[in-house]
Structure 1
Amino acid sequence: MASASITRSTSIRLAAFYISLFLLSFLGANAVGYNMVASYLYERLDSNVMERFREIETAYDKNGIDGAAAMIRSHGPAIRGQETLYTLKDSGDTVLVGNIDMVDVPPGFSTRAPTSHDKPPTNYRLYRRNLDQYDLTVGVSYDDTNRLRWIALVSFGWATAIVLAAGLGGGAILAFRTRRRIARFSEAMKAVGAGALATRLPISRRHDDIDALAIEVNDALGQLQASVAAMTQVTTDIAHDLKTPIGRLYLTLEAASESRDQASALPLIERAMNEVARITATFEGLLRISQIESGARRSRFAKVNLTALVRDIDDIYRDIVEDSGRSLRFSDDKRNSSAFVWGDADLLKQMCVNLIVNAMRHTQAGARIVVGVRIRGGSCVVIVGDNGPGIPELERQKVFKRFYRLEKSRTTEGTGWGSVSSRR
């Protein structure tokens, strides 16, 4: 497998895409979560301010201004640490008790920015309201709220970083593992290209989509191996089929060249022409098969009355079959008087003739040969049967292969075309 940048790996690209998508979603969820936490903390801060204000208000309701002042003084540690601000004034705007004189504070909730007197500088959440003729302002520092907000923000940041690192790490691991698998596939395909057609792609235990693709490729390689083996066998069979007639042709022409007169040479030339005709028939058969498989002869297809075609063949070959010591009978079925198919009439006729010739060749004298046409399940079926020895059960599927013959020695005439139904 040619080396390539890891960034060009499909796995790492898919991982980066999904990580980016997930990261954006995660960041959006974090932003929503952070805003919800911040909103809750601000609401809690307002509740804390109101709680302290109500404590002082309750003390004022029970014990008057002295009770309110005592409640404020009881918060001495908070006052000294500046976590909480208190200002209680009378109607003359004089501070009665508190730790800071807050001025220009609007009624209700407000926020006080830090000043140069604050140590350390901090914001405060304030609440101001009158207690009869007195004015009370309570403030609570934002420090705890800001600290919790910062903790939440840092937590979300770490969570995002962990997700990003885990996603990139997982994507890198997936990319390297996928590259190793693809490298093994590449080596296997190189072996196939070098001629080792028995090589197959490895299948893992994960049974993922890559394994499903590998299974399909292995099936295709199996079919390719079978096709190449069949082609090799066909080539060998053709070589055997042509070896004998070419040899006879050579000897006949040699004998004709040595003849002293024309009269003795003419029979030899006629024999040579017969051998040439057999050789030509072999190549014509190959050409017809290749044309059919490529679809070139489909332009000659037309509507053919199969019943009429088989009846004509019966009329032509009946005398020939009877001269060979066998009988030929057309099995007539009135229901199939017009069985039409879409095909090449010449090739269909040649197929039927080949089957009849094979039946004559592979049966003994006195055998009965039957031809006919049947319609079964919407399909037209041509029947050529005889009462000969038949095809062994183990060979019945093999005879459908091109150029396959039961006679492995191939010493008799024939090429293996149209023999699949000759002895049913």
Structure 2
Amino acid sequence: MKRLWFAIKAVLMLIAVIVIISVYWTAAYFLSEWVYARLNWQPHPLARQLMTSILGFFLFGFSMSVIAPFIRKHEKVFWQNMMDAIQRIAQGDFRVHLPVDRENRNHPFSKLATGINDMVAQLRVMEEMRQEFISNVSHEIGSPLTSIRGFARALKNENLSREQRMRYLDIIETECVRLSKLSENLLRLTMLESNQPPFFPAPYRLDAQLQTILLRCEPQWAEKELDVGADLEKVVITADEDLLSQVWLNLIHNAIKFTPKGGRITIRLEKRGDRAVVTVSDTGPGIDQQDQHRIFERFYKADKSRHRAAGGSGLGLSIAKKIVEIHQGRISVHSRPGEGAVFTVELPLHASETAQSG
């Protein structure tokens, strides 16, 4: 269809050019004939043809010189608007919007304006994300620092009992650990989002890795008297074992955090064609539908008060998503409020060393 439309436009343009040339040369012919009649002169046919052609070119050039200022004025206005827009973008103003001729979208000016508008829209989104990121980091750092400063000041009171001092010191230590984890996660996320993140795939037993991580988390889920079940099919996968261990730790720790005492957590592993599928399900409070599409964003907390009580920073799922993407896999969540949550990770059985660039 596009080729047909292009051919029709080409034919119409050719017809328009022929019509314009015919009009000018016809006008040149009648004008020259009028001059010959007035001068009572009958030149040679070749001279007639040459003079008609010269006059036709002259009339065409003269008319173009008259029309050109109006066309150039339009172009000048366009380029002036373009330069002003670029200067505003360079100064950090991403509210720029260039007018686009809707009736002539295929014109080079319209395409250029559309490209500038799309670029500005993307820059505006990135700027909003940057500001939100800075705000979140400042908040996450400011909260424990305020707590540390307050309890450090309270420790100056010489009338405190030993029990109070130890309790304040425990709180200060907890907040320091929280700051340390936040710093580590920020550095890890920055490293994963770099152009060359660390990625060293090798074949290993995924079921054995999941079983080992479950045993490492036993003190946490045993303390809450959780019923933990594992249905692990034997699967050999070629991937970065260290990176994927962070994914499983984050998912299992989240399940333990948000599952109430006496609840149940289930980890399943199965092979579907050329992919390994891991699901981590819990019987926690679940996640609202409106929060599920943002749950993997940095610092996003579906339930801020609950997340703060659990000591999270909102980076764990972002790190997990990035690691899965490096392996050319996919992570998703399915949940309903009050019915728990199910996180699903799909990974190719054989991740190549070039997967990180995909």
Interval containing the TM-score (normalised by the shorter chain):
0.5 to 0.7
One of 276, 280, 284 as aligned partner of 2:184: 284
Question: 1:191-247 CA distances to partner (integer Å, 9 max, x unpaired)?
Answer: 344444233222112112332233233222222222221222222222222232111
Please name the residue that 1:44 is paired with: none
How much does 1:179 deviate? 2.7
1:213 match: 112
2:73 counterpart (148, 171, 176): 176
Residue matched to 2:133: 234
- How far, CA to CA, are the matches of 2:86 and 2:228 in structure 1? 54
1:190 aligns with 2:90: no
From 283, 286, 289, the equivalent of 1:387 is 283
Aligned counterparts, 1:359-398, within 5 A: 359-376=255-272, 378-398=274-294
- Tell me what 2:211 maps to: 311
Change in 2 beyond 3 A, CA 1:223/1:384: farther
Aligned to 2:99: 202
Q: 1:189: Cα distance to partner? A: 3.3
The 5-angstrom pairing of residues 52-201 of structure 1 reads 147-166=44-63, 173-201=70-98
Residue pair 2:203, 2:236 contacting (<8 A) in 1 also: no
Output the CA distance in 2 between the equivalents of 1:168 and 1:376.
Answer: 72
CA offset at residue 372 of structure 1?
3.4
Q: One-letter code of the match for 1:285?
A: N
Contact 1:314–1:371 under 8 Å retained in 2: no
- Contact 2:232/2:270, CA 8 A, preserved across alignment: no
Q: Which residue of 1 aligns with 2:195?
A: 295
Shift of the alpha carbon at 1:153?
Answer: 0.7
Q: Secondary structure at the match of 2:155?
A: helix
Distance change >3 Å, CA 175–CA 380, structure 1 → 2: farther
Cα distance in 1 between the residues matched to 2:115 and 2:263:
48
Per the alignment, residue 312 of structure 2 pairs with: 414
- When residues 367 and 266 of structure 1 are mapped into structure 2, their CA distance, relative to the original with a 3 A threshold, is closer
**Cα distance change on mapping 1:311 and 1:215 into 2, 3 Å:** farther
Task: Name 2:237's counterpart in structure 1.
Answer: 339
Relative to structure 1, the CA distance from residue 402 to residue 156 in structure 2 (aligned partners, 3 Å threshold; closer, same or farther) is: same
Match of 1:324 in 2: 224
In structure 2, the partner of 1:423 is 341
Q: Residue 246 of structure 1 corresponds to which residue in structure 2?
A: 145
Letter in 2 for 1:274: T
Q: Structure 1 unaligned segments of length 5 or more: list them.
A: 1-21, 31-142
Go from structure 1 to structure 2 and tell me whether the alpha carbon gap of 1:378 and 1:159 turns closer, same or farther (over 3 Å shift): farther
1:96-117 Cα distance to aligned partner (Å, 9 max, x none) = xxxxxxxxxxxxxxxxxxxxxx
Does structure 1 retain, via aligned residues, the 8 Å contact 2:265–2:283? Answer: yes
Superposition pairs for residues 266-281 of structure 1, below 5 Å?
268-281=168-181
Shift of 1:154: 0.6
SS of equivalent to 1:399: coil
Q: For residue 229 of structure 1, what is the amino acid of its counterpart?
A: E
Residues 368, 387 of structure 1: 8 Å contact kept: yes
Q: Which runs of 5+ in 2 are unaligned?
A: 1-16, 26-40, 318-331, 334-339, 343-358
- Asked whether the equivalents of residues 309 and 349 of structure 1 are also in contact (C-alpha less than 8 Å), the reply is yes
RCO higher in structure (CA 8 A, sep ≥6): 2
**Other structure's SS at 2:228 match:** strand
Compute the displacement of 1:404 (Å): 0.8
**What TM-score, normalized to structure 1?**
0.57
How many Å apart are 1:392 and its aligned residue?
Answer: 1.5
Q: Partner letter of residue 83 of structure 2?
A: S
Please provide the CA RMSD for this pair.
Answer: 3.3
**Kept in 2: contact 1:245–1:275 (CA 8 A):** yes
* Cα separation, 2, equivalents of 1:288 and 1:171: 60
Q: Quote the Cα distance in structure 1 between the aligned partners of 2:87 and 2:276.
A: 46
TM-score by length of 2: 0.66
Change in 2 beyond 3 A, CA 1:304/1:171: farther
Q: 1:270 to 1:390 in 2, by over 3 A?
A: closer
Q: What is the match of residue 399 of structure 1?
A: 295
